[in-house]
Every structure is written in structure tokens, then in C-alpha cells.
Amino acid sequence: MRPVSYLITNFIEKTMNSKGLSIFITADGKYLAMDNSFDTVFKFDMVFSDNDFSCQILSKSEQGLMLTESFNIPWTNGNALRDFMEYLRKL
């Protein structure tokens, strides 16, 4: 059986792949969505616990990566989880 965090990380990977970006994971567990030139377009800084997960999303700008959104979602809050997924689709 897969951990519930797999739902989030797999969704991020599929969503970014559909946008032409590839996901790479840093040594400290950060998820980077990179284009074909290996420029980081999005960075996902996630923390998973038994009760919830948090995710800070940084997006590429002229000044470098800038924090665009921050989520803290209990595993039991299906509406917030769906909102998070919808946000990712719209990036």
C-alpha cells in the first residue's frame, strides 16, 4: 500500500509533466519542476506528517523564485485537498 503522500507527489508530477516540465527531487526533499533547459519554473517545499501536509510553492519570476502560495491541509479535509489540486492545474 502506498503512503498518502504519494497521492500529492504523484499528482504534482503528472500535472507538471502535462505542462512540459520534469520533476526532480533535491537531496533535502524539495521538488523542482524544470523545463527542457533545466531552468526551475516551480519549487514545491513540502512537509508531510501523520495529520496533515504543508506545501510552499515558489514560482519563477524576474527576481528568481518567489513564494506564490502556501498551503497547510489536514488529511481529513477533502475540499482543501481538491482546492490544492485545482491550484496546481492552473499554475
Helix orientation angle between 78-90 and 5-18, rounded to the nearest 10 degrees: 20
Query: What's the whole-model pTM score?
Result: 0.91
DSSP codes joined into one string, 40-82: EEEEEEEEE-SSEEEEEEEEEETTEEEEEEEEEEETT-HHHHH
Q: Which of 23, 81, 39, 33 is nearest to 57 (CA)?
A: 33
Tell me, what's the pLDDT at 1? 86
Does 76 score more than 90 pLDDT?
yes
Does 26 score more than 90 pLDDT?
yes
Range of the domain at 37: 5-90
Average pLDDT, the chain: 96
pLDDT band at 62 (very low <50, low <70, confident <90, very high): very high
31-48 per-position pLDDT tens digit? 999 999 999 999 999 999
12-22 per-position pLDDT tens digit? 999 999 999 99
> What nine digits make up the cell of 49?
506528517
